[in-house]
């Protein structure tokens, strides 16, 4: 069986701490390396872990907050500069998957952070709700309600008969049945638990546990955690063997 594993690069929220960086997750499916979100501080942490930035095949962006999207530009710009020292290898195309308008927003970032128009980099953008089938993996992109200002997406990746669902950030008033349907019978659910109390923009750990149980998920990893919520979260998840709290550098075989 080929490897299918998740490494948690950042399990925290907007404010980095000594133990938690903003959202970033490395999913390896056979020969494919997929980043699920890339919040600020992510490229440095990837380098510290010995992850070759050039080896990333796909970047999935769930939404446009900086703790999920900010290091997209540093990732691509770093790859371009690195290629200057190895001109014989050319540029490896990067697929960036995200909500509607992600290509337009990327162009706006370039106007600010990478102004040289003669320095192109090959990026394939895939936007919005759809299904993608490749020789190795199947991808389903589905809409998530987080904030009203733009579309957010969740993603389901199926490889070698197993599946991973990642939600990104989810509004606490989201239709839970919809989320349960998307996560039904999945092998790994990576889902945010941003708040201890009900919130219009984040799920609580109680909602995460309910989704996991009703969707018959084999293993659920609650992430996007603020340190001050750890105590109460642990008391609740200790009662559920298949629900664990994410930690930076955690590795999970799927």
Region 78-94 average pLDDT: 94
Alpha-carbon gap, residue 108 to 121, rounded angstroms: 15
Sheet of 123-127, strands arranged across: 123-127, 94-98, 58-60, 32-38, 24-29, 4-10, 251-253
pLDDT at 117 (0 to 100): 85
On the question of pLDDT at 40 being above 90, the answer is yes
Q: How far from chain centre, in Å, is Cα 211?
A: 19
Alpha-carbon gap, residue 43 to 46, rounded angstroms: 5
Q: Which domains does the chain have, with CATH numbers?
A: 4-253 (3.60.15.10)
Alpha-carbon gap, residue 217 to 229, rounded angstroms: 23
Alpha-carbon gap, residue 74 to 178, rounded angstroms: 34
Region 97-105 average pLDDT: 98
On the question of pLDDT at 246 being above 90, the answer is yes
On the question of pLDDT at 154 being above 70, the answer is yes
Region 192-205 average pLDDT: 96
On the question of pLDDT at 138 being above 70, the answer is yes
Give per-residue burial for 103-136: e unless 16+ CB within 10 Å, then b: eebbeeebeeeeeeeeeeeeeeebbeeeeeeeee
pLDDT at 164 (0 to 100): 98
On the question of pLDDT at 78 being above 90, the answer is yes
Give per-residue burial for 164-194: e unless 16+ CB within 10 Å, then b: bbbbbbbbbebebeebbebbeebbbbbbbbb
| CA-to-CA separations, 160 to 29, 75, 221, 251, in angstroms, rounded | 8, 28, 21, 19
pLDDT at 167 (0 to 100): 98
Label the pairing between strands 130-133 and 123-127: unpaired
Rounded to the nearest integer, the mean pLDDT of the chain is 96
pTM of the model: 0.97
Region 195-222 average pLDDT: 97
Region 133-159 average pLDDT: 96
pLDDT at 209 (0 to 100): 98
On the question of pLDDT at 1 being above 70, the answer is no
């Amino acid at each position: 069986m080929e490897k299918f594993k998740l490494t948690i690069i950042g399990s925290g929220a907007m404010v980095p701490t000594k133990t938690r960086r903003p959202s970033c997750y490395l999913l390896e499916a056979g020969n494919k390396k997929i980043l699920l979100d890339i919040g600020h501080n992510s490229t440095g942490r990837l380098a510290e872990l010995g992850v070759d930035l050039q080896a990333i095949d796909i970047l999935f962006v769930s939404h446009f907050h900086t703790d999920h999207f900010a290091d997209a530009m540093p990732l691509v710009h770093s790859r371009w500069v690195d290629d200057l020292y190895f001109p014989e290898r050319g540029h490896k195309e990067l697929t960036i998957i995200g909500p509607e308008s992600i290509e337009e927003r990327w162009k706006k970032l370039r106007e600010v952070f990478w102004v040289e128009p003669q320095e192109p980099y090959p990026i394939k953008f895939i936007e919005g709700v759809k299904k993608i089938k490749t020789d190795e993996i199947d991808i389903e992109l589905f809409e998530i309600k987080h904030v009203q200002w733009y579309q957010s997406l969740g993603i389901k990746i199926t490889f070698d008969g197993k599946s991973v669902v990642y939600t990104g950030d989810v509004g606490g008033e989201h239709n839970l049945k919809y989320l349960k349907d998307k996560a039904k019978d999945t092998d790994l659910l990576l889902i945010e638990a941003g708040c201890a109390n009900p919130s219009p923009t984040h799920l609580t750990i109680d909602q995460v546990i309910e989704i996991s149980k009703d969707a018959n998920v084999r293993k659920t990893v609650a992430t996007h955690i603020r340190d001050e919520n750890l105590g109460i979260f642990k008391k609740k998840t200790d009662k559920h063997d298949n629900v664990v709290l994410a930690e930076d550098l955690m590795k999970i075989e799927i």
